[in-house]
Amino acid sequence: MGTDQLLHDGHGRRIADLRVSVTDRCNFRCQYCMPAAGLPWLDREEILSFEEIERVVRVFVELGVEDVRLTGGEPLVRRDFPALVAMLAEVDGIRDLSLTTNGYLLERDAEALARAGIGRVNVSIDSLQRDRFFELTRRDALARVLRGLEAIGAHPEVRPVKVNAVAIRGFTEAEVERFCRFARSTDFQVRFIEFMPLDADRAWTPDSVLAGEELRGMIEAIHPLEELPRGPSSTARVFRFADGQGEIGFVNPVSEPFCAECNRVRLTAEGRLRTCLFSVHETDLREPLRGGADDAELAAIIREAVWRKELKHRVNEPGFRRPARSMSAIGG
Per residue in 65-86, pLDDT (tens digit) is: 999 999 999 999 999 999 999 9
Report pLDDT for 200: 63
Residue 99 banded pLDDT, cuts 50, 70, 90: very high
Q: Is the pLDDT of residue 185 over 60?
A: yes
Report the candidate in 272, 244, 237 with the shortest Cα–Cα distance to residue 42. 272
Is 173 inside any structural domain? no
Q: Is the pLDDT of residue 202 over 80?
A: no
The CA-based dihedral angle spanning residues 198, 228, 189, 117, taken in that order and rounded to the nearest 10 degrees: 90
Report pLDDT for 309: 94
Report pLDDT for 327: 63
Report pLDDT for 206: 82
pLDDT, average across residues 292-313: 95
Distance of CA 31 to the CA centre of its chain: 17
Q: Is the pLDDT of residue 116 over 60?
A: yes
CB-based contact 262:254 (threshold 8 Å):
no
Is 112 inside any structural domain? yes
Is 208 inside any structural domain? no
Helix spans in 104-165 (H): 106-116, 130-137, 142-153
Q: Is the pLDDT of residue 215 over 80?
A: yes
CATH of the domain at 91: 3.20.20.70
Report pLDDT for 88: 98
Report pLDDT for 316: 67
Is 182 inside any structural domain? no
CA distance 55 to 38: 31
Q: Is the pLDDT of residue 56 over 70?
A: yes
Report pLDDT for 53: 98
Q: Is the pLDDT of residue 60 over 90?
A: yes
Give yes or no for a cis peptide into 160 (omega within 30° of 0): yes
Report pLDDT for 325: 64
Is 104 inside any structural domain? yes
Helix or strand or coil: residue 172? helix
Report pLDDT for 43: 94
Q: Is the pLDDT of residue 162 over 70?
A: yes
Q: Is the pLDDT of residue 314 over 90?
A: no
pLDDT, average across residues 193-207: 77
Q: Is the pLDDT of residue 318 over 90?
A: no
CB-based contact 120:161 (threshold 8 Å):
yes
Residue 109 banded pLDDT, cuts 50, 70, 90: very high
CB-based contact 285:320 (threshold 8 Å):
no
Q: Is the pLDDT of residue 2 over 90?
A: no
Give the chain's domain count: 1
What are the tens digits of pLDDT across the range 278-300?
A: 888 999 999 999 999 999 999 99
Q: Is the pLDDT of residue 1 over 60?
A: no
Exposed (0-12), middle (13-18) or buried (19+): which is 217, by Cβ within 10 Å?
Answer: exposed
CB-based contact 305:63 (threshold 8 Å):
no
Residue 319 banded pLDDT, cuts 50, 70, 90: low
Report pLDDT for 191: 97
Mean per-residue pLDDT over the chain, rounded? 92
**Least confident span in 32-36, 240-244, 246-250, 326-330:** 326-330
Q: Is the pLDDT of residue 38 over 80?
A: no
Is 218 inside any structural domain? no
Q: Is the pLDDT of residue 246 over 60?
A: yes
Q: Which domain holds residue 97?
A: 3-162+259-330
Q: Is the pLDDT of residue 329 over 80?
A: no
Report pLDDT for 93: 97
